Amino acid sequence: MASYQEFIQQNEDRDGVRFSWNLWPSSRLEATRLVVPVSCLFTPLKERPDLPPVQYEPVLCSRANCKAVLNPLCQVDFRAKIWACNFCFQRNPFPPSYAGISDVNQPAELMPQFSTIEYIVQRAPTAPLIFLYVVDTCLEEEDLQALKESLQMSLSLLPPNALVGLITFGRMVQVHELSCEGIAKSYVFRGTKDLSSKQIQELLGLTKPAASGQQGRPLAPEDAAASCRFLQPVHRVDMNLTDLLGELQRDPWPVPQGKRPLRSTGVALTVAVGLLEGTFPNTGARVMLFIGGPPTQGPGMVVGDELKNPIRSWHDIQKDNARHLKKATKYYEAMANRSAVNGHCIDIYACALDQTGLLEMKCLSNLTGGHIVMGDSFNTSLFKQTFQRVFSKDFNGDFRMAFGGVLEVKTSREVKVCGTIGPCVSLNSKSSCVSETEMGIGGTSQWKVCGLNPSTTLGIYFEVVNQHNAPVPQGGRGAVQFVTQYQHSSTQRRIRVTTIARNWADAQSQIQHIESSFDQEAAAVLMARLGVFRAESEEGPDVLRWLDRQLIRLCQKFGQFNKDDPTSFKLSESLSLYPQFMFHLRRSPFLQVFNNSPDESSYYRHHFVRQDLTQSLIMIQPILYSYSFHGPPEPVLLDSSSILPDRILLMDTFFQLVIYHGETIAQWRKAGYQEMAEYENFKQLLLAPLDDAQEILQTRFPMPRYVDTEHGGSQARFLLSKVNPSQTHNNIFAWGQEAGSPILTDDVSLQVFMDHLKKLAVSSST
């Protein structure tokens, strides 16, 4: 049997699934004792170049409350043309089209290698993709210019039949009519007035006279397309819109000294959401919000327009001094939910030096699966390239985006689903698979993910419900089926079905097996997601304490030690890295708000709960590569001891890409050795990390902040704040090593952390 490593890797490659435990404890009691819940990271749309979608529709279990999809785990009676559902054990006849089925003629979904399979729904109506730009015009001239160019450029990236719309806002909100000739025409809304969706449609003249008789029913998409002057096919309004964007002016209302510009972000979004709600409900649409500052008026305002009142900080929030926070958050949450219901996702592109209110607005993207991109200015390559990458295409030439996804989880009866953590909203679908325990967004077996891309990953948490005294039959397997329906960027409706199964193990007799089936990377990320999810609603220290307790319990459960003898403590290989992940997680911006603005925290957390395992791990524990003359680049410990004068370091924290030149290297570089022919090798050394960085920059979304710094540079802080402070001003002399670079911090180092952990784990008192 292949090692668990291989098994895990294979599973991830095939199904996009990483379970914390790959053997499941067979009873609820044992499961809870494992500390880390049975859970998985699931990437619904994981790119599978080797998986062509099948051109037919899935066969469903006929039991009304099951409807599981036929899968390789089902028992099939080829002669009777009957299959048994592996979730509810219902016996179902095959549909007539499967008449030719036999041992040797099996449909794809029955083959083991198709545990993940994608169907194309043929009869579903197709609607074009919709892109609605919502653009802040209270920008500096250069920023606006850069943004305009980016937007104009994006028109060429859109599929020609996609519908596109433009809303601009400042003090007022303008919805631009795109179909008109001659005079540029726009509908204007006051930036301070909250409007219901119905009002918006009325004000935009979208409601037809009641005579049409289909009141309350949304317009059929075709009708709406004809009637909607605000959303037009790109190919038709390309020129028009390019001109319109070109003529876009900064918000013309004067901004008195000492004031912020009045920015009606809240109303602009309401209008955007209302417009789509009225015209294209349940059709894939992307609202792209570009902001250069916080909302300063109207509903959803985050800060007043007086510059003397700064925008809320964590300090204000902790002191309950953030006046607009609750109201604004509530406002955007309600809007996000509305948008989610209609299957529209909202992206936020916030470029400003100060905060822009992401804390309040984050739910817009978090609940709808939209992107958040945060930068300093629209006139940076960070924004420009990131934005461009939104429209990147896959190997088939399709956009790497999908809309209106609905993820359903079905479980075999010993397991129930507790919830998910990821960019989704609950669809409140109660079924027999739903556990009473909630973890993350729970209480449902279906979630809506309005915007998806191949890397969107959800953390899904399960509970073993089998009673201790009702053992699972030997060799039995627990199964989970993920059914993801979504609108492909080619406008097809598709269904992807992933069915997985794991063996049951008796935790008392097979604890070693279970331990070795532990996927510590997945577990670390899944626990981290739980922690981040808690951090949204709880105080930071509480979350840390909870994480610590879980870690200690895990160590107590699986560590090998003599009571009260910390030095005897040992962890098996499958758990050995876990404490280190936890150490870095504790220091990460996902749980620590110190040194981060509320917006930054929200931004980091946003990305953390949606990226796949690899990226998430990088976020928890950044990767550090060292470049030297001594050999090929090597990964080194994320430790201050790795910071050496004759090395170049490349650190990837996901959000930042830092190239750090050691003291000596920096001096050489300054002296210009790389220019000299005889020091070609030095030049190569200097270039090596740059090339590697480029590679990462090319693929990462959002594009990381790229930092090129050196010993003593101010930007070196990015590196210094991440590395394990094994050498600080407190212990540098005690260590007596000349290597490494001390960090000025009072944070504990990994060593200290581990010592404490051991002590606590072996302590008999806890």
Partner 1 sequence: MSQQGYVAAPPYSQAQPGMGGYQGGYGDGSAQPLYGHYGGPPQAFAAPPAGMMKSPVSSAAGMPPPPASNQYNPNVQQNGAHPQRYPAPPAASAYGQPLQSPYNSMASMAPPPAQQLTNQMSSMNLGNYGPMQSPPPATSSVAQQPFQTSLPAGMGQPQMPPGPQSPHMSPPQSPLASMPMAGQQMAGPPMAGQQMAGPQMAGQQMAGMGRPFPGPPPSGPGGFQQPGPGGFQQPGYPQQAGQFGGLMTGPQPGMPGGFPGAPGGLAGPPQKKLDPDSIPSITQVIEDDQVKRGGQVYSTNVRGQVPPLVTTDFTVQDQGNASPRFMRCTTYSLPCTADLAKQCQVPLACIIKPFANLPKNETPLYVVNHGETGPIRCNRCKAYMCPYMQFIDGGRRYQCGFCNCVNEVPVFYFQHLDHMGRRADFYERPELSLGSYEFVATLDYCKNNKPPNPPAYVFMIDVSYNNIKSGLVKLICDELKTLLENLPSEEGMESSAIKVGFVTYNKVLHFYNVKSALAQPQMMVVSDTAEMFVPLLDGFLVNYQDSRAVIYNLLDQIPDMFADTNESETVFVPVIQAGVEAFKAAECSGKLFIFQSSMPTAEAPGKLKNRDDKKLVNTDKEKTLFQPQKGVYEQLSKECVAQGCCVDLFLFPSQYMDIATMADVPSHTGGSVYKYNNFQVETDGEHFLRDLRKDVQKSIGFDAIMRVRTSTGFRATEFFGAVHMNNTTDIEMAAVDCNNALTVEFKHDDTLSEETGALMQCALLYTTINGQRRLRVHNLSLNCSLQLSELYKSCETDSLINFFAKSACRAMLNQPLKNVREILVNQTAHMLACYRKNCASPSAASQLILPDAMKVFPVYMNSLMKTAPMVGSTELSTDDRAHQRLLIMGMGVEDTRLLLYPRLTPLHNMDVSTETVPAPLRCSEERLTDAGMFLLENGHSMFLWLGQAIPPDLIQSIFNLPSLAHLHGHVCALPELDNPLSNKVRSIINGLIEERPHSMKLHIVRQKDKPEMVFRQFLVEDKGLHGGASYMDFLCYVHREIRQLLT
Q: Which residues here bind partner 1, judged by CB under 8 A?
A: 172, 174, 177, 182-190, 193, 195, 199, 202-205, 247, 252-254
Smallest gap from Cβ 481 to partner 1, in A, equals 49
CB closer to partner 1, 197 vs 667: 197
Helix axes 663-671, 680-699, angle to 10 degrees: 110
- Least Å distance, CB 176 to partner 1, is 10
Within 628-709, residue ranges assigned H as helices are 663-671, 680-699
* Residue 276 or 707 with smaller CB distance to partner 1: 276
Contact 603, 355 (CB under 8 A): no
CB of 197 to partner 1, least distance (A): 14
Q: Which is nearer to partner 1, 133 or 187 (CB)?
A: 187
Residue 296 CB, shortest distance to partner 1, in Å, is 17
Q: Which residues contact 631 (CB under 8 A, 6 or more apart)?
A: none
83 sits in which H/E element: strand 82-84
- Taking alpha carbons only, the member of 705, 608, 597 closest to residue 356 is 597
Identify which of residues 182 and 736 has a Cβ nearer to partner 1 in the complex.
182
Nearer to partner 1, 261 or 704 (CB): 261
In the bound state with partner 1, the residue whose beta carbon lies nearer, of 109 and 177, is 177
Partners of 176 in beta bridges? 186
State the nearest-atom distance from the C-beta of 349 to partner 1, in Å.
Answer: 25
Tokens coding 328: 């604004």
Sorted by sequence, the CB contacts under 8 Å of residue 633 that are 6+ apart come out as 625, 626, 627, 650, 688, 689, 692
- The dihedral over CA atoms of 598, 602, 604, 605, expressed in degrees to the nearest 10, equals 130
Q: State the Cα–Cα distance between residues 743 and 748, nearest whole angstrom.
A: 11
Q: How far is the CB of 271 from partner 1 (least distance, A)?
A: 11
Closest separation in Å from C-beta 208 to partner 1: 14
C-alpha torsion 41→45→50→53, nearest 10: 130
Q: Is the dihedral of CA 225, 227, 233, 235 positive or negative?
A: positive
Enter the tokens of residue 541: 């220290």
For residue 249, the minimal CB distance to partner 1 (Å) is 9
**What is the nearest approach in angstroms of partner 1 to the Cβ of residue 145?**
16
- Select 100 or 182, whichever has its Cβ closest to partner 1: 182
> In the complex with partner 1, which residue's Cβ is closer, 33 or 198?
198
Q: Which residues touch 333 (CB under 8 Å, ≥6 apart)?
A: 363, 367
Q: Quote the least distance from Cβ 244 to partner 1, whole Å.
A: 10
CB atoms within 10 A of CB 21: 24
Cβ neighbors of 617 (< 8 A, separation 6 or more) are 521, 524, 525, 581
* Vertex 431: Cα angle to 429 and 436 (nearest 5): 95
Q: How far apart are CA 501 and CA 9, in angstroms?
A: 15
Q: CA Rg, the chain, in Å?
A: 28
Say if CB 725 and CB 638 are below 8 A apart.
no
Pick between residue 73 and residue 248 the one whose CB is nearest to partner 1. Answer: 248
**Degrees to nearest 5, angle at CA 65 with 92 and 476:** 65
How far apart, in Å, are the Cα atoms of 367 and each of 79, 271, 294, 328? 47, 18, 20, 16
CB 504 within 8 A of CB 513: no
- In the bound state with partner 1, the residue whose beta carbon lies nearer, of 195 and 591, is 195
Q: How far is the CB of 275 from partner 1 (least distance, A)?
A: 13
Q: Indicate if the alpha-carbon torsion angle 190, 193, 194, 196 is positive or negative.
A: negative
480 close to 415: Cβ distance less than 8 angstroms: yes
Least distance (Å) from partner 1 to the CB of residue 255? 12
Compute the distance between CA of residue 97 and CA of residue 319 in angstroms, rounded to an integer.
66
In whole angstroms, what is the distance from residue 565 CA to residue 426 CA?
A: 47
- Is-contact 504 472, C-beta < 8 A? yes
Nearer to partner 1, 193 or 319 (CB): 193
Those residues with Cβ within 8 angstroms of residue 469's Cβ, 6 or more apart along the chain or in another chain: 27
Q: What is the closest distance, in whole angstroms, from the C-beta atom of residue 404 to partner 1 in the complex?
A: 30
C-beta closer to partner 1: residue 186 or 730? 186
Calpha distance 513→484 (Å, rounded):
32
Q: Which is nearer to partner 1, 172 or 544 (CB)?
A: 172
Q: How far is the CB of 199 from partner 1 (least distance, A)?
A: 8
User: What's the min distance (Å) between Cβ of 207 and partner 1?
Assistant: 11
